[in-house]
Structure 1
Amino acid sequence: MADASPRTDISTDDTDEKNERFDRGKSTAMVAYDSSDRSKDKTDQKTLRRLAQNREAARKSRLRKKAYVQQLESSRLKLTQLEQELQRARQQGIFISSSGDQAHSAGGNGAMTFDVEYARWLEEQNRQINELRSAVTAHAGDGELRIIVDGIMAHYDEIFRLKSNAAKNDVFHLLSGMWKTPAERCFMWLGGFRPSELLKLLVNQLEPLTEQQLTGIGNLQQSSQQAEDALSQGMEALQQSLAETLCSGSLGSSGSSGNVANYMGQMAMAMGKLGTLDGFIRQADNLRQQTLQQMNRLLTTRQSARALLAIHDYFSRLRALSSLWLARPRE
């Protein structure tokens, strides 16, 4: 019994040591587990934040898209309303401005009269083009196509006549292009399109062309470019001459009788030079008209039909681009 007591103490010490090691191991495991939990929690939080950010970005994107669609729809409704107002104005013999708050007698303002006439001309052109498109789609004969093509060519002659009359009343209105959409105005040259640029667009749309047709269109494009350059140089010379006329004498001097006389003389000379502006418009429109007519002679009836459709589609897309630009979201 005396020998058993020390062994019992040793056994108790071993047990305590084992318990202590177990507790330390358990504590270490708990620390590792807590660390793993915290790391997992951080990862989950980052994932949740990322998902929340993605949801928020998607929500904002949907809102922007919805606002854009609403603006497009609003613009379409406004255009429809303006067309209805314009139609009522035609019936009443007046022109209603785009702001809707002014009404003027059509005979009392040359620019507004032309705007009404141009809108009517454009409406008729759309009808003729739809007729031509239907005929081409239905594979109509050359005889039927020729009648429609000749009608559209005659309709182009009508717009050049209208512009010639309008230039006598308000040449600056035609030059500014305010009767066109913003995108169309970017490509305007002397109150209309550049014939040489239009021919470039058409060549790729009318393939295949014969060698004779390619040569003829190439020569027509070159001659149109030369005529455009000559008219552009003439306009630049006119602008330079006007600037020199207006700057002659002393600017900002007192209004003595001599200065008033000089001023009136300068204005008279400037007015005389401005009187040549409508001539530039007529020459540019004459070039456009001749280019269309010569193009029509160079092409077959079916090619002419395709060319007229391509021209109309090009300007229609410019007008559509203007509508989209004006209705774009603004943040």
Structure 2
Amino acid sequence: MSSSSFSSFYSTWFEQLNQLVQQLSAAPRPPTTHDQHQDLEKLVAKTLTHYTEYYKVKSAEAQRDVFNVFAAPWASSLERSLHWIAGWRPTTVFHLVYTESSTLFESHIVDILRGLRTGDLGDLSPSQFRRVSELQCETVKEENAITDELSEWQDGASELVGDCSASVDEKIRLLVSIVQKADDLRLRTVRRVVDLLTTQQAVEFLIAAAELQFGVRKWGLDQDRRRGRFG
């Protein structure tokens, strides 16, 4: 897959994500029937599969040209400025969960004080909060370990100049491996957060995550167009 091919894939994938989010947003929440609950579960699974497909294709692109993945010509300047190892930082997920939970909790505070359960992200149980916190600690450790690997790789980057082709090839393979580890952590983090949420909460989390992605991309593309950097 060429650089332009991956850019085309990303554009199509992004539009499909938009369509999935529209379906998630239109679904009844909370589900009141067994069928509605099953439909929500299927939509959550479909959305996670969509993310999995992206990382599968991105992994192949990294193996083809890992430097192009870091350059990310399909992304806006703003998106690239926020990247951690060619993508979003996994711990961003937890900030999103806490922010959404806090916002919804405040909007439902009267109902909650009356003992009513909303079932949304503002209604996370103590057990869920504990598991989110534990997962956050684990993710931070993995994130730091991968960051250290990249730092070590960068420290030896001078070896790429004038070194034998076999050594250069090995350095590039190592960089591909680092990107794949980062992407694996990104996908696993989303999946593990979804696993500890109820179906309704998972839908709300996936909508919030995608809307953040949409917002950053739109603002970034608008800024680039003003500077004449995007068509």
Taking structure 1 as the reference length, the TM-score comes to: 0.58
How far does residue 271 in structure 1 lie from its aligned partner after superposition?
3.3
Q: 1:287 to 1:134 in 2, by over 3 A?
A: same
Q: Is the 8 A contact 2:97 2:205 kept in 1?
A: yes
Q: Is the 8 A contact 2:77 2:224 kept in 1?
A: no
Give the match for residue 117 of structure 1.
9
The one of 187, 212, 215 equivalent to 1:289 is 187
The one of 253, 274, 280 equivalent to 2:172 is 274
Aligned: 1:155 with 2:50 = yes
How far does residue 242 in structure 1 lie from its aligned partner after superposition?
2.0
Q: 1:312 to 1:114 in 2, by over 3 A?
A: same
Q: 1:275 to 1:329 in 2, by over 3 A?
A: closer
Give the match for residue 67 of structure 2.
172
Aligned: 1:313 with 2:211 = yes
Aligned: 1:238 with 2:149 = no
Aligned: 1:182 with 2:77 = yes
Q: Is the 8 A contact 1:177 1:188 kept in 2?
A: no
Partner SS state of residue 188, structure 1:
coil
Taking structure 2 as the reference length, the TM-score comes to: 0.81
Q: Is the 8 A contact 2:76 2:224 kept in 1?
A: no
Alignment partners' CA distance in 2, 1:234 and 1:291: 19
Q: Is the 8 A contact 1:164 1:282 kept in 2?
A: yes
Structure 2 residues not aligned, in runs of 5+: 101-120
Q: Is the 8 A contact 1:184 1:318 kept in 2?
A: yes
- What percentage of aligned pairs have identical amino acids? 25
Q: Is the 8 A contact 1:242 1:270 kept in 2?
A: no
Alignment partners' CA distance in 2, 1:201 and 1:164: 26
Partner SS state of residue 58, structure 2:
helix
How far does residue 166 in structure 1 lie from its aligned partner after superposition?
0.7
Partner SS state of residue 276, structure 1:
helix
Give the match for residue 222 of structure 1.
137
How far does residue 306 in structure 1 lie from its aligned partner after superposition?
0.2
Q: Is the 8 A contact 1:213 1:298 kept in 2?
A: yes
Counterparts in 2 of 1:246-257, with a 5 A limit? none
Q: Is the 8 A contact 2:3 2:68 kept in 1?
A: yes
Partner SS state of residue 314, structure 1:
helix
Alignment partners' CA distance in 2, 1:246 and 1:132: 47
Give the match for residue 129 of structure 1.
21
Query: Higher RCO, 1 or 2 (CA under 8 Å, sep at least 6)?
Result: 2
Per-residue CA deviations over 1:93-137 (Å, capped at 9, x if unaligned) read: xxxxxxxxxxxxxxxx52222111111111111111111111146
Q: Cα RMSD over matched residues?
A: 2.1
Structure 1 residues not aligned, in runs of 5+: 1-108, 248-262
